[in-house]
Amino acid sequence: MATINLSHYNKEYLPDAQTMRIGIVVSEWNDHITSNLLKGCLEAFTDCGIPDKNILVAHVPGSFELALGAKMLFDTHRIEAVICLGCVIRGETAHFDFVCNACANGVQQLALSIGKPVIFGVLTDDTEEQSIARSGGSKGNKGTEAAITAIKMIGLQRELEKNNW
């Protein structure tokens, strides 16, 4: 995901998104957080003119399953990008590190192997309070940022394909 806060974006600087087809895979684990990420994502898409019929939402049990869920969406639907939304909060064991690493690597490997945008919208925070702040709270909504990243990446892919020499 982008390193700047894209929660506040200017539609004038975004590609035309009205015909974009996007999948969203959402982790059910920490759903009080991930549902807010999804809400931010969907609100940004609506604001940018993407019709509901062009957005496919699928749920998976946890963040570990996001990459496979994204692959399933690409394999079964004609979509241009998939956003992976999840939330992993540090606990008392190394489980956090394993899940975060596997999730990030899985998303990256999928994107590189299929050559389409797979957006990492997974919060990896130390506390629940940090996750709440980043899912519509004081730090913005990383779901919104993931939506804007997807729009920009699809726009880039379309532009490069159009200008292919």
- Give catalytic residue positions: 95
Evaluate whether 147 touches 44 at the Cβ level (below 8 Å): yes
Q: Any residues with CB less than 8 A from the CB of 73 and at least 6 apart, and which?
A: 23, 25, 56, 58, 79, 82
Place of tokens 């394909």: 161
Place of tokens 């920009």: 152
44: three-class secondary structure by DSSP: helix
9 beta partners: none
Which string of DSSP letters, residue by residue, matches 92-151?
A: SSTHHHHHHHHHHHHHHHHHHHHTS-EEEEEEEESSHHHHHHTEEETTEEHHHHHHHHHH
Evaluate whether 147 touches 2 at the Cβ level (below 8 Å): no
